[in-house]
Amino acid sequence: MTSKTFRIWKRGFRDGVPVLLGYFAVSFAFGIQAAGLGITALEATILSLVNLTSAGQFGALSIIASGGSCLTLALQQLVINLRYSLMSASLSQNVNPKLSTTKRMGIAYGFTDEIFALSSMYPKPLPPIYTVGLMSAAVPGWTFGTLLGAALGQVLPGRVTSALGLAIYGMFIAIIMPGIREKRSVRFAVLAAMGAMILLNYCPGLNLVPANFRLIIVTVIVAFAAAVIAPVPDEDEESGKEAAG
Amino acid sequence: MRTSIWIYIAVMAAVTYLIRMIPITLIRGKIRNRTLRSFLYYVPYVTLGAMTVPAVFHATNSVISAAVGLAAALVLAYKKVSMILVAAFACAAVFLVELIPNLPV
């Protein structure tokens, strides 16, 4: 590793420290929840290490706990994590077009909302080692947070675990708020999605739709409707990219 | 469940990785289809919004503490407080509210 490469890695690692702390808190809550469903600390830790996705992992717990099918799980992950393909597509515009396939495949493992947001703010062309630096901070935070949550979570007082239950939702709100602030169409889309979920959960008849499919159905229909009614203009691509982080 | 947990983990890891890997590996030019681009643009907001409401109201010991925690998160995020602090203060709000005895579940 040349000294310049090391410097960029170090900058990535430093920028990634706040992400590390945030991930630690959220994955701690994930570990607690997983352990509560009978998943061992080892299983939960490996699950976090190989998936590295907050929303997807929390969503998967309900399917795993209820013994759902692998196809349901795969479909659910596809829909919940589809946003990563947008981020991946977006970052494809930031890296050097000549960047090797191997390096693209390597940094892709770390594409989360936060790593994407920080990577996309780096001056183009994005050096992959910067994203590796971010991952070097974020991945241990996510993995060890899960381990400690799963191993020690049960000994925490019920009040503490109850409070930590909100961490993931605080993170979700923080992720979508920039788009909600800046774009009316995003505000409407989010409200429509929430309204549709409330209907599917509580409306007699509609609540017959299996819980595992509600999110999939709502996401596809609302996002497609929004795309048709309020397509994102071309010149918006730069600001849209940041908002998506 | 015990026997197939590793299969679940493998399936979700494979799907999640492929979602992240395929676009950046295949796309070496600009995406031109406007509807597809717009659809992908809205996906994160719609998914995360739908995952939050109404599930958040059952995430804590009481629907009241959850509502206060959610309100705290909304206000702080709106004021552009960093993600970590939004999550931390939302949790703190839940903790404080639950110090009140006899909250409804």
Q: What is the pLDDT of residue A212?
A: 62
Pair B19, A80: CB distance under 8 Å = no
What's the mean pLDDT in A115-134? 89
Please report whether residue B68 resides in a domain.
yes
Shortest Cα distance from A75 to chain B (angstroms)?
A: 9
Please report whether residue A229 resides in a domain.
no
What's the mean pLDDT in A51-71? 90
Q: Residue type for A88, please?
A: S
Please report whether residue B29 resides in a domain.
yes
Q: What is the pLDDT of residue A1?
A: 66
How far apart are alpha carbons B2 and B30 in whole angstroms? 45
Please report whether residue A209 resides in a domain.
no
Please report whether residue B93 resides in a domain.
yes
Q: What is the pLDDT of residue A245?
A: 38
What residues make up the domain containing B44?
A: 5-97
Please report whether residue A205 resides in a domain.
no
Token pair belonging to A49: 């290490």
Please report whether residue A235 resides in a domain.
no
Candidates A159, A169, A213, partner chain B, best to mutate (most B CBs within 10 A): A169
Please report whether residue A44 resides in a domain.
yes
Name the domain count of chain A: 1
Please report whether residue B105 resides in a domain.
no
Looking at the predicted structure, is the pLDDT value of residue B37 above 90?
no
- In chain A, residues with a C-beta closer than 8 Å to the C-beta of B2 are 38
Cβ A231–B46 below 8 Å, yes or no?
A: no
| A102-113 per-position pLDDT tens digit | 999 999 999 988
Please report whether residue B104 resides in a domain.
no
Pair B41, A182: CB distance under 8 Å = no
Name the domain count of chain B: 1
Looking at the predicted structure, is the pLDDT value of residue A132 above 90?
yes
Residue of A nearest to B46 (CA): A190
Cβ B35–A228 below 8 Å, yes or no?
A: yes
Please report whether residue B103 resides in a domain.
no
Looking at the predicted structure, is the pLDDT value of residue A243 above 80?
no
% of chain A residues with pLDDT over 70: 94
- In chain A, residues with a C-beta closer than 8 Å to the C-beta of B72 are 170
What residues make up the domain containing A27?
A: 3-176
* Higher per-residue pLDDT: B67 or A124: B67
Please report whether residue B69 resides in a domain.
yes
With a threshold of 0.85, tell me whether the complex ipTM lies above it.
Answer: yes
Q: A24: pLDDT confidence band, cut at 50, 70 and 90?
A: confident
How far apart are alpha carbons B4 and B73 in whole angstroms? 37
How far apart are alpha carbons A236 and A107 in whole angstroms? 26
Please report whether residue B27 resides in a domain.
yes
Q: B93: pLDDT confidence band, cut at 50, 70 and 90?
A: very high
Please report whether residue A214 resides in a domain.
no
Pair A163, B60: CB distance under 8 Å = yes
Please report whether residue A108 resides in a domain.
yes
| Chain-centroid distance, C-alpha A209 | 25
* Higher per-residue pLDDT: A185 or A38: A185
Q: What is the pLDDT of residue B75?
A: 97
Candidates A17, A32, A112, A173, partner chain B, best to mutate (most B CBs within 10 A): A173
| A206-223 per-position pLDDT tens digit | 888 877 678 878 988 999
Candidates B4, B6, B9, B56, partner chain A, best to mutate (most A CBs within 10 A): B9
Residue of B nearest to A114 (CA): B83
Residue window 108-167, chain A: list those with CB within 8 Å of chain B: 108-109, 111, 113-114, 158-160, 162-167
Q: Is A35 on the interface with B (CB under 8 A)?
A: no
Please report whether residue A86 resides in a domain.
yes
| A142-194 per-position pLDDT tens digit | 999 999 999 987 777 778 878 888 887 888 898 889 999 999 999 999 999 99
A6 CB neighbour count, 10 Å cutoff:
12
Q: Is B97 on the interface with A (CB under 8 A)?
A: no
